[in-house]
Amino acid sequence: MNSIVENIDRSLKPSLFFLTEQLEFCKSKKGPRKYSQSILAMALIWKRASTSLYKLILSEGMLKLPSIRCSTRLSRCFSVNTGLSHQAIKYLK
């Protein structure tokens, strides 16, 4: 599979790595999984955007993603704020 990925257009590589990882999870037994940094980052973004949709994706088994508990634990390590910070607003004034 990796030899196929090496010969593909560079812009498609992230998608192919995502698909390859998902296929590997499908053939492995259920249990603890080691997710790549890109899947973890994507999962946190998706969960932050819509927890309901994230739960639906998990419950339907559409994609193999970290559990709600795992993604919540991971998200505690990051501060994601929208808009401008107080310092930026102060600077712009």
The pLDDT value recorded for residue 6 is 65
User: What is the reported pTM?
Assistant: 0.65
The pLDDT value recorded for residue 5 is 56
Q: What is the mean pLDDT of each run of 10 residues along the chain (93 residues)?
A: 64 84 84 85 90 93 90 78 72 76
Domain ranges in the chain are: 2-78
The pLDDT value recorded for residue 28 is 80
Q: What share of the chain is helix, strand, coil (3-state, %, to 5)?
A: 65, 0, 35
CA distance linking residue 18 with residue 70, whole number of Å: 19
Are 74 and 44 spatial neighbours (Cβ–Cβ below 8 Å)? yes
CA distance linking residue 36 with residue 40, whole number of Å: 6
Rg (C-alpha) for the chain, rounded Å, is 17
